[in-house]
Amino acid sequence: MKKEKKAEVVKEMHEKLLRSEGVFLVDFKGLTVADMMSVRASIKEVDGELKVVKNTLLKIALKDTPYQGIEKFLTGNNAIVFAYSDPVAVAKKVVKGSEDFEHLTVKGGLIPGGDVLEADDVVKLSKLPGKEELVGKLLYLFDYPVQGLVNVTSGLLRNFVVVLDQIRQEKEKAA
């Protein structure tokens, strides 16, 4: 690979790293092209991207990014998985891929502001609820007190109307 091409790859990887919400490294040795395409497609579904890049170029691209801690995994065959929006959803796809294809092995990862994730940690991360599910739960928690207030208020009004109706019926009987 020529120097210009290497510099271009390093720049592209660096930009992708800065844009990512998390990264994971996987070993793909022995994975067929069709299986690799399948894994790539599943990761792309959740706003992620799988790229194969030389370890030396990736080490250079990692400089001045929050992902320098993953350098310890840069031995052997590596593919880097970028999570652009929801690292948990991407971790789920990576772990599912490693379960579906025996030649795909999770090495580790990192989420900015956190510690370096070993393979077991990535599996644990994949078991957490995703961003959409957490947002849904949060919205439910915001909505719950309002629903309770509406129920109590409507119950009071309903009871008031029932009492008025009973008074009306009593007056009609008396008249």
Measured between alpha carbons, how far is 42 from 90 in angstroms, rounded to an integer? 9
Q: What percent of the chain has pLDDT over 90?
A: 56
Average pLDDT of span 6-29: 93
pLDDT at 110: 92
Tell me which residue of 119, 114, 124, 126 sits closest to 26, measured CA to CA.
119
Q: What is the mean pLDDT of residues 127-133?
A: 80
Instruction: Indicate the pLDDT class of residue 114, thresholds 50, 70 and 90.
Output: confident
Look at residue 123 in the predicted model and tell me its pLDDT. Answer: 92
Q: Is the pLDDT score of 108 beyond 90?
A: yes
The pLDDT score that the predictor gives to residue 163 is: 87
Indicate the pLDDT class of residue 58, thresholds 50, 70 and 90: very high
- Statement: residue 15 has pLDDT above 80: yes
pLDDT over 80 at 111, yes or no = yes
- Residues in Cβ contact with 89 at an 8 Å cutoff, skipping those fewer than 6 apart: 46, 47, 48, 83, 130, 131
Query: What mean pLDDT is predicted for residues 36-55?
Result: 94
Across 111-121, average pLDDT: 88
Q: Cα–Cα distances in Å, from 13 out to 3, 41, 160?
A: 15, 19, 68
d(CA 96, CA 165): 62
DSSP 25: E
Cα(24)–Cα(67) distance, integer angstroms:
10
